[in-house]
Structure 1
Amino acid sequence: MKLFLLTLLLITTSIVKSQNATQASPVYQLRIYEIFENNKKEFHERFRDHAMRIMKKYNFKIVSIYESKSDKKTEFVYFLEWPDKNTMKKAWEDFKKDQEWIDIKKQYTAKYGDVVGNVEDRVLTKVDYSPN
């Protein structure tokens, strides 16, 4: 019986440690926005001067930002880091409900039309053999 309890304790401890290690790993998010050449300058202005500032209020950690261009389209790509998925989800909910952000989007759309086309969102979890 003692051996059984000791084994059960070791298994439980191992599972808890494994869960804590998984939860401690950051979550990464890749966002890809189709943007339009005719109002690309306005998109960058809106993101740089407004979205990033408002995102900061909700603890968005933007790691890097890129632009990708092909024959067919131009894309704005950025990479975020989050402590966990729940934090990410809550931050996005709060950002999307932010009245200042809602007003800015309305103003830009009224003045320049749609500045963003298709949006892709990918949540990435680092694999254990990924380089640091």
Structure 2
Amino acid sequence: MLHQLRIYEIFERNKAAFHARFRDHAARIMARHGFKIVAMWETRSATRTEFAYILAWPDAETKAARWASFMADPEWTEIKRVTAIEHGDLVGAIEDRLMVLTDYSPRL
């Protein structure tokens, strides 16, 4: 089992729109493409607000295939286009990390 940590820089000016898009659209479409979202958080530092979430994958090949199908999904493409027109950019920098449990980690 692999876990993927995604961290998105989000903006205070349109944070509500970001959360609405992820909650109402992205998460639903991701589920349709076989994503397993483990948990989601909003975090803050002195310089930025972030949205972080963890995905669980059986293997790297499945992760790659499902991300490709999600990114090519016509509904997702249209939602991103419309929300960008209405609210501007909803996401700044994106961090993407693949996490593999150590042999001494408690199992999830």
Q: Which residue of 2 aligns with 1:92?
A: 67
Structure 1 spans left out of the alignment, 5+ residues: 1-25
Amino acid at match of 2:13: N
> What percentage of aligned pairs have identical amino acids?
51
Higher relative contact order (CA 8 A, sep 6+): 2
**1:125 aligns to 2:100 (yes or no):** yes
C-alpha distance in structure 1 between counterparts of 2:65 and 2:8, whole Å: 21
Matches within 5 A, 1:3-82: 26-82=1-57
Deviations 1:53-109 (A, max 9, x none): 000111100000001011200000000100111000000000000000000000000
- TM-score for the superposition, normalised by structure 1: 0.80
- TM-score for the superposition, normalised by structure 2: 0.98
Residues paired across the two proteins, number: 107
Which structure has the bigger radius of gyration?
1
Q: Which residue of 2 aligns with 1:116?
A: 91
| Divergent runs of 4+, >2 A | none
Structure with greater helix share of residues = 1
Structure 2 spans left out of the alignment, 5+ residues: none
